[in-house]
A and B are shown apart, each in its own frame.
Chain A
Amino acid sequence: MTGANLLAATPLWAAVVNPSPSPSATPATFGANVIGFSFLLSLLVWGPAVMAVVIALVPNPRGRYERWFLGIAFWTSASVLALTLIAYQQFQVFTTGVQFEENLPWLPSIGVSYHLGVDGIGISMLLLSALVGLCAVIASWEVRERPRSYFVLLLLAEAAVNGTIAARDFFVLLLFWSAVAVPLALLVAGWGERPRAAGAAWRLLGYWGLSSAALLAAGLLLYQAAGGSDFAIDTLTHATPTGRLQLVIAALLLVAGISRLPLVPLHGWARAVWSEAPTGVALLTAGVASRLGGYLLIRVMAAGEHDASRTLAPILSGLAVLTVGYAALAAIRSRDLRRLGAYLALIPGAVTALGVAGLSPLSLEGAVLSLFTGGLAAALVVGATAALAERAQTRSLATAAGLAGRAPKLAWLLVAACLAVLCVPFLATFPAGLMIFLGSFRTQAPAALLLALGLVADAGVVAWMLHRVLFGAPNPDAPNPGDATLPQAWFLGILVGTLLWVGLVPGGPKLFGVPLFDPGLVNVVNTSTPDLSSPYAVPSPSAPGSSQSPSPSPGTPTSPSAGP
């Protein structure tokens, strides 16, 4: 029995690569028919923005109602999560195409419309956004300085992220893509750790401004290539620009994507922001705002610019390898706990990038899944290191030592975060990483091998860090550390719990083969990836006399053997 066959025989693998057995097996689920209106996505996008305005306008005589702002932000994020969960429940996993669609003309003469909709990729990203958004609010429980402005900006950032994910029109995508940067930069600058917060905010604005400019240029070139009819993303990705123009467009999209994801060499903002921002903001940035870079690479570059994507794939995979290597080297040289967490948070983005560069059905499916799982892992490692630094009352690795005994909850949450980043089994990053590595080994073998070696190096760094910070001899001169506070335990617990849930039952829980309340993230993701990856599918060798099928039909589950 070969390794692949051995893998295919395991229940975990079967759950990853095979969606639920048949459409008829889907029972009426929790939340069915609750959402019968057609503006669900607008509600998810504009709801937080409206509540931000409410917070901005609520009277607050002598600061009496400052905790109300936190309450409004919390219940808004919780409602967004509840709505997203119901939408996730109701998502039709056995059909392809866009669901929950809204389409209104906006600037009809140039083909701009207010077009929202989600497919399997979009709904999983929305779920990630809602989860991380709620965790970001919980992580901000102790914000006492200018709470009104803080929660207004946090909700605006959440709204912009949701808008970017739900956009099906390039103009709408660009609007929200650019809008994400402003509240996040102000949050970093206004509430980050001084004196470096200002520099971090500048870097964020600089790099993300560059990504917005690159995206704008790419979109306009695609518009021209598509005949200038409209800005619908589907139209733009179906345009067929000439070879050189396609390469330029893909290169611009690559710049836009990797400066958000981020990958070396456009990673300059990440270390600064993730280590200096307040915990809630770092969580939101690492967990979901930065994943939008990978989302763009998959949604527009890989889906539309097939030839150019193939040309640029070695560059992208090379950058992914460099990023993982850089993370290992920088982490081992780091003397700052939060910075170390920031370096480790670069790894999930690099794994996603390898999946995109792999350009095989399996690696692309893994890349989509890793947007969700990597976002959770990055948020978790950034959040756990920030919480530990706060409770240990020091960021210095020279001072913080042997904390496991006095902060056991935080210690085990940090261990889980590090394991998640390294794609170990039983955590959600494992199936995603496995699909990416298996899928990209044929197309990008050297990069996949080097990236795997880089992960081994990162594991060494993690082991050293965990031994020193958690399990080494306690430092008698260090300030007295405390364990996780209740909000910290909650937000880190939600992230770990989700990673475990998706890692253990990626295809959703089943009772006697019948799916229960969760349709399974892999099944949801699978509704979109065949469409996305069909241009990259290598025709499978067929039996004599039978007709060849160049690509899996939409909705058909992808098996390991369907890869290259």
Chain B
Amino acid sequence: MPQLRDSATRAGSHGADTVHSPQFGTGARIFGIETEYGVAITGVDRHVDARQVAAMMFQPVVTQTRSTNTYLRNGARLYLDVGSHPEYATAETRDPLDTLTQDLAGEWAIRQLANQAQQRIRERVGRDATVHVFKNNVDSAGHAFGCHENYLVRRYVPLTVIERELLPFLITRQLFTGAGRATGHGFELSQRADYLDEAVSSATTRARPMVNTRDEPHADPEEFRRLHVIIGDSNRSQFATFMKLATTHLVLGVIEASVRAGRPSGFGSCTLADPNAANRAISRDITGAFTVRLAADRDETDAAWHRHGVASALDIQQRYLDIVKQKVRADRDTIARSLPRTDIDQVLADWQDLLDLVAAQDVDALADRLDWAAKYRLFEAMRRHDPHVDTWRIQQVDMDYHDIVNGNVYPSLIRRGMMRTLVGERDVNGAVDNPPRDTRAALRGRFVQTALRYGLQFSCDWTRLTLTEPVHGEVVLLDPFDACPTPRFEALIARMKQADTVSESLA
């Protein structure tokens, strides 16, 4: 586990040769989502297990790139993680709508691999073999896995401030970001709330398992840190994915601005006495009304919003939203410009709408946009049809909702117009082959596309493009906001095209 490294001391120690990102002084953000998928197979005897299915899914990847860890034409990273989880990390994006689209492109890519594997498995062991790939966060035995969000945050914000001021937001946002889960002890908003506490040592660094702070900014470390949020659920709802990113961005923007101005953001008054207990309790209450204790040492700027040191998830969310609204009124242009495609007024209106609907306990109205509400409504309908429906059946439908390969529930809800979508199939298809155009992913995508077209061997990481065969070449891309090809990059691309003619003439 990487240690917390508070690099606040680095602020102001910029070396003379540091090249500042032009976006450092703006409100712009880099977003990314890493989604781990779970794999299962049914309709077979014990000849095939999930581990083998995952390995078969990655066979075409290994054939093409000699590795189970690669980067794709759209700049994303695809790999086989520990525990046989296929994992897809979106390319860097500047707007939550693009992150959503890139994440859906990842679903598409994983689905393709699963369908190909299923085809081959059926040829071998019979036509009933059915591959399931779950975009959820827990298996039937209670192994939890993740959907991690990445936000590039300006380095002058101390880690302690992020943890203190962001955590109450992350814990209470499950009112709209929770994927929902049918459990033995009832319905929960969050898939993960019951599993995060295992890793918590509450005394010293209580926030660590919810916000991982490994110091790998994939950018100039003098300017940025990469905030790695691991508390969130995997969402199938496009609206939930979008709102998760958009609202978290707005909150982070307020924190950055207040640190820069040397003024308290106001979020410090939301600090929770026991984040883990609050996380679990809030997950079990779909009304948002259950109250939790605030920390005794909170930064009190305005005591009027809570009830003598206790507050509900709805109270806390409303507090965050009110402060963000104030900030937008005061500094509209900077905040509006921070997202190139998204209308922040619409985000604020929808955020308020969500809180109002939760307060009114109007699950039906929430069910067309939130995963947990969609599932809750469906389970209730099943119970109406059959009052004796058993828990296994409910859990099966719960899991089917997250199966991106052979699941019926979610596609049916979409087909019947029961759930909103924000991006269409054409956009998703476009994002399978094309990187976001306004980040360095544009360059990585072009590099990968060129390598694949000319049959060249390559390797990448987020900041580095390396051509390994037939000739060696490397380009470093330190600024994630920068989509402009440097002369060095263009030279590498030119050499790649040349390498092809060289090997052709030798053949």
Asked if A pairs with B, the answer is no
| Residues of B near any A CB (own CB < 8 A) | none
